[in-house]
Structure 1
Amino acid sequence: MTAHTRDPGRSDRVALYSGYRPEVQGLRAVAVLLVVIYHVFVGRVSGGVDIFLLISAFFMTLSFVRKIEGGRRLDIPRYWLHIFRRLLPLASLIIVGTLVLLALFYPDTSIRDFRWQGLASVFYLQNWELASASVDYYAADHSTASPFQHFWSLSVQGQVFLLWPLIFGFAWWVRRRTRISSVPVLAVCFGLIFAASIAYSVVTTETQQAFAYFDTRARLWEFALGSLIALAIPYLNPPRIVRIILGWVGIVSMVSVGVLVDVQGAFPGWIALWPLLSAAAIIVAGNTGSPFGFDRFLSWWPVVKLGDAAYALYLVHWPLLITYLV
């Protein structure tokens, strides 16, 4: 007797969380372009990094739920090995290249201050290094910034890549013992993380904004929101016209946040809900199949390919910008 025969609903539950989402991969491209454009030309926070973090949790959650509901073993150590084997080579290459730029173009005082940040970046601890140094992310003179500063978000992401699989492992264990679907278990877990983290984020941003900006605990709610959207997305099916409107409202809202609101001193508190809910609207809109939907642009193959390269683009843009300013 096969597993499918023993549990007729299993394949249906797996199917709910299956399927390639090219429009979300395209959204990843838009998010990283917002980061680059706002860094280079505007000098303000766009919310693009926050969207990038949400999308990473969204895809990770879909992947793990498919495994759990399909009755497959999670093999979390193997997942950790795979994810860091995929991320570390390019990150290490950029770190080494940045160290070369330091030696060639930066003053000796900067070299002494920044070289240890390269090591912190390798071990995904750069956010805590910046937080402990009370670095001002919004400093007007970017030429004094660290060329490794952008690794703060990758460090937070790496820490979540270690933590989130343990939560999925708990849901897998509960399902094995009780036959309860992992979806409600994960919804409760991520709902609690979201509530606790956003409350902490709001309070800490109000009292220690420079520290809160790099604090993993103040960012967990952004990942939790991405996971909650992933859990809910199979059950959200608004009418086509509503989805078309959601897509356009989402992209206009996403692009406008950095223009309309000076978020200096406000991130990562409640104001970060603006770009994240904008991204959520686009994700819920999904593939409308309409020639008038914004998802048609997001699903266009050059945009999707740019989304595939978003990690590399994010890695390289900041050290080049700071070196140019120096």
Structure 2
Amino acid sequence: MSLIAEETPLARGRRRSAARPKLQENNSTRKFRPEVQGLQAVAVLMVVTYHVWFGRISGGVDIFLLISAFLLTGQFTRKLENGKALELFKYWAHLFKRLLPLIALTLLLALLGVYFILPETNWTSMLGQTWASLFYYQNWFLASEAVDYYAADHSVASPLQHFWSLSIQGQIFILWPLIFAVAALLSRIARLRIRPLLIYIFGTIFAVSLVFSIMTTNSNQAFAYFDTRTRLWEFALGSLLALILPYLTVKRSARLVLGWVGIIAMLSCGLILQVGQKFPGYMALWPTLAAACVIVAGFTDSKFGADRFLSWTPLVKLGDSSYALYLFHWPVLVFFLVLSGREQAGLKAGTAIILVSIVGAIVATKWIDTPIRRSKWIDKKRRRAVLTIAICVAVVAAPLSAWEGKIHAEELAIQAQEQMAVAEIARNYPGAHALQTGFVDAADPGLPVKPAMTALDKQWVSLGNACEGDFATTVGVLQEGCGQTKISGNAGKPLW
């Protein structure tokens, strides 16, 4: 398809009505599509059940990314084709006013769990991850720490690890509208039809990002998993689907088959594919194209159609709470595993975790998300939406800053102990001397642990030479950090 000059409204209307059958036009222009809502519910259930019971990647998150771009693109394209202003600031204020309340609630509850359940050695990292989750850069935070998202033991995972996908979505919710604004400007200047122009733009993003994703996944999969650039093609695919759908003419019988093929392919992705070392490269095409099949199948008005299943009222209702369910299930799982000392939840405990998460998601959606989302008072003036966003940020930032301040003050107090005389240091903080035969603990009572438990990750020092000869080790983690060691101590007792 080539970019051509803008047609007259009459000619464009005649061409469109001739190009699209009525049923397919209804599928592409309906504002509410219950089968897409049900598709979101299926995707979140895939994520939750695979996390809780199987400890594997399901492909459900990739479906979420595609759906979010599909819906966003449809909304902005309709605005441009109808000659309406994009009103980007209004869109962002309205969007993040809806997203941040449940994020704030999740982060506050997670911080409580971190304080009461996780060891102090995890606190510094968790506070950093909370900031990253609140401001939508958690994916880059995790990438920089080389987090293994596929680790089989979820009990050692971060309760905020799942915010990586929400962070990528938040970044796209900023980037995509800007692309539409640039496309609208190009369309006016060059007198190009907006939809073909957008197809070229998102087609280019899809191709470039997919190639980059495949290459990066092969060379550095752990980093690629969290890299926004390796995920752009999934969003671009959703955008292309929204843009091309009005032009597609698929017979009803074919759409009946297409819908069920998509459902089966979605559900089987995590079972058939060993995606642990291949996502988000070419293997992520499996769940995303499966979801695309379901969307193309659309409304069939048949009792045998997949849309009949996806439009089932309980599934659609669960789709309303899918966002909250995604937010809640992972912290509940991680904290349970830490408290129980298990690596996996098991059938009974896993069922309880899923039920608790679903109930919590439904309650939070009904009493927090829905009232704020539907508040006419907030929507009446833009500054009220901005105020809502500011309040959500503040209720998390205030205790987070206070906690960090307390940790910093404690670390400074411990550093002040370093000013004591050399003899006192040797007596109060003997380090490895505590292992010698006949050692007598003569440390002053009540001294703080040195270094602080929250500062253990800062204790790497260089030994100046390689771990060879008498210093050689067969321990994998020590081999990786050869030439470095961690120094830690206690008041009269070493920490190992």
**Which bin holds the TM-score, normalised by the shorter protein?**
over 0.9
Report if the CA contact (8 A) 1:11-1:70 is conserved. Answer: no
2:75 alignment partner in structure 1: 63
Q: State the Cα deviation string for residues 53-105 of structure 1 (Å, max 9, x = none).
A: 00000000000011000000001111111111110111111011100111111
Q: Which has the higher helix share?
A: 1
1:199 alignment partner in structure 2: 211
1:315 alignment partner in structure 2: 327
2:9 alignment partner in structure 1: 7
2:176 alignment partner in structure 1: 164
**Mapped partners of 1:295, 1:237: distance in 2:** 18
1:32 alignment partner in structure 2: 44
2:103 alignment partner in structure 1: 91
| Cα drift, residue 179 of structure 1 | 4.0
Alignment of 1:109-120 (within 5 A): 109-120=121-132
**Mapped partners of 2:282, 2:133: distance in 1:** 27
**Mapped partners of 1:59, 1:301: distance in 2:** 21
2:193 alignment partner in structure 1: 181
Does residue 284 in structure 1 map to residue 296 in structure 2? yes
Report if the CA contact (8 A) 1:204-1:212 is conserved. Answer: yes
Amino acid at match of 1:183: R
| Cα drift, residue 35 of structure 1 | 0.2
Q: How many residues align?
A: 321
| Cα drift, residue 115 of structure 1 | 1.7
**Mapped partners of 2:247, 2:278: distance in 1:** 33
Q: Greater relative contact order (Cα 8 A, min sep 6): structure 1 or 2?
A: 1
**Mapped partners of 1:110, 1:275: distance in 2:** 34
Amino acid at match of 1:7: P
Give the 3 Å change call, closer, same or farther, for CA 37–71 of structure 1 in structure 2.
same
| Cα drift, residue 9 of structure 1 | 6.3
1:18 alignment partner in structure 2: 29
Amino acid at match of 2:108: V
Give the 3 Å change call, closer, same or farther, for CA 10–316 of structure 1 in structure 2.
farther
| Cα drift, residue 11 of structure 1 | 7.5
**Mapped partners of 2:197, 2:320: distance in 1:** 31
Match of 2:89 among 49, 72, 77: 77
**Mapped partners of 1:325, 1:150: distance in 2:** 16
Match of 1:48 among 44, 60, 72: 60
**Mapped partners of 1:303, 1:124: distance in 2:** 29
Does residue 108 in structure 1 map to residue 108 in structure 2? no
Match of 1:236 among 248, 251, 257: 248
The 3-state SS of whatever aligns with 1:137 is coil
| Cα drift, residue 26 of structure 1 | 0.9
Structure 2 unaligned residues grouped into runs of 5+:
1-7, 18-24, 339-496
Q: Which of 294-303 and 210-219 deviates more?
A: 294-303
2:158 alignment partner in structure 1: 146
**Mapped partners of 1:158, 1:201: distance in 2:** 20
Bigger-Rg structure (1/2)? 2
1:304 alignment partner in structure 2: 316
**Mapped partners of 1:201, 1:175: distance in 2:** 30
**Mapped partners of 2:186, 2:85: distance in 1:** 13
Report if the CA contact (8 A) 1:114-1:146 is conserved. Answer: yes
| Cα drift, residue 18 of structure 1 | 2.6
**Mapped partners of 1:65, 1:9: distance in 2:** 19
**Mapped partners of 1:11, 1:83: distance in 2:** 32
Amino acid at match of 2:203: G
Output the TM-score relative to the length of structure 2: 0.63
The 3-state SS of whatever aligns with 1:214 is coil
**Mapped partners of 1:147, 1:304: distance in 2:** 27
**Mapped partners of 2:201, 2:335: distance in 1:** 43
C-alpha RMSD of the superposition: 1.6
**Mapped partners of 2:330, 2:148: distance in 1:** 16
Give the 3 Å change call, closer, same or farther, for CA 11–63 of structure 1 in structure 2.
farther
| Cα drift, residue 305 of structure 1 | 1.6
**Mapped partners of 1:170, 1:51: distance in 2:** 27
**Mapped partners of 1:116, 1:300: distance in 2:** 41
Report if the CA contact (8 A) 1:105-1:323 is conserved. Answer: yes
Q: Which of 146-155 and 229-238 deviates more?
A: 229-238
Give the 3 Å change call, closer, same or farther, for CA 266–67 of structure 1 in structure 2.
same
